Amino acid sequence: MTEIEVKKVSTGTVYKLFAIGLSVGFVPLFLFFGVFGAMGYEVLTWNEQPVTGIKAIFLGPFMGAFMGLMFAGMLGTVCAFGLWLFSLFRPMSVSLVPKES
């Protein structure tokens, strides 16, 4: 691991990390919910209507991506603001794993 000291992290980097992390986490989870919806369980809702049957398997990953991007927008904004405030007082240490060629 390589450790570097940075004054601040760019807003684009914060949003990118949140968007990738949350979307990659939510899509499989919502696909799992879609499978349960296909079996008749009412675990997915859209416009206050339960989504069941084969439609749930296809709609689940889209709902996961949508939720991931929505949370990334909200949490990314709060996190970018907090990191900006932190950068006014002191630099940060970031640990990186270098890419091997």
Contact criterion met (CB below 8 Å) for 19 and 76: yes
Q: How far apart are CA 89 and CA 82, in angstroms?
A: 12
Per-residue model confidence as pLDDT tens digits over 7-58: 989 999 999 999 999 999 999 999 999 999 999 999 999 999 999 999 999 9
| pLDDT tops 90 at residue 100 | no
Q: Side-chain half-sphere of 18: how many Cα atoms within 13 Å?
A: 20
| pLDDT tops 90 at residue 98 | no
Per-residue model confidence as pLDDT tens digits over 44-93: 999 999 999 999 999 999 999 999 999 999 999 999 999 999 999 999 99
Contacts of 65 (CB under 8 A, 6+ apart): 23, 26, 27
Contact criterion met (CB below 8 Å) for 56 and 37: yes
Phi and psi based region of residue 28 (left: phi greater than 0; alpha: psi -120 to 50; beta: remaining):
alpha
pTM of the complete model: 0.83
| pLDDT tops 80 at residue 101 | no
